């Protein structure tokens, strides 16, 4: 079962908070598709996520660089791992 969105996850940036909330929703949809053995739906969600997370990570990383965020490289590394993992699990 996937985690539920909670307002305590908000970081105070409207666009990023919206992305995070949508990622929670997509994870829930993916869990349901797996549970119901809907391979076409699983593939569609993963394909959408591949594009969505790239856009999301790019926006986050631009903000991190702009604000000199110290955890930038760790975030970038984790983002790259996520992108590769999504591609490899379609």
Question: Residue 15 corresponds to which tokens in the numbers above?
Answer: 């666009």
Question: Residue 87 corresponds to which tokens in the numbers above?
Answer: 């591609």
Q: Report the SS3 class of residue 2.
A: coil
Average pLDDT rounded to a whole number, residues 75-83: 93
Per-residue confidence (pLDDT) for residue 4, from 0 to 100: 87
Distance CA 63, CA 81 (A): 20
CB 22 within 8 A of CB 48: no
Separation in Å, CA 59 to CA 17, 38, 54? 12, 31, 9
* Closest to 23 in 3D by CA, of 57, 59, 53: 53
Average pLDDT rounded to a whole number, residues 57-70: 95
Q: Which range (6-10, 25-29, 52-56, 83-87) has the least confidence?
A: 83-87
pTM for this predicted structure = 0.83
């Amino acid at each position: 079962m996937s985690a539920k969105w909670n307002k305590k996850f908000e970081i105070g940036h409207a666009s990023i908070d919206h992305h995070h909330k949508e990622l929670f929703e997509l994870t829930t949809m993916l869990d349901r598709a797996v549970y119901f053995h809907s391979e076409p739906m699983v593939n569609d969600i993963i394909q959408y996520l591949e594009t969505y997370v790239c856009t999301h990570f790019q926006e986050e990383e631009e903000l991190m660089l702009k604000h000199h965020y110290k955890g930038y490289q760790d975030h970038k590394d984790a983002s790259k791992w996520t992108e590769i993992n999504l591609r490899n699990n379609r």
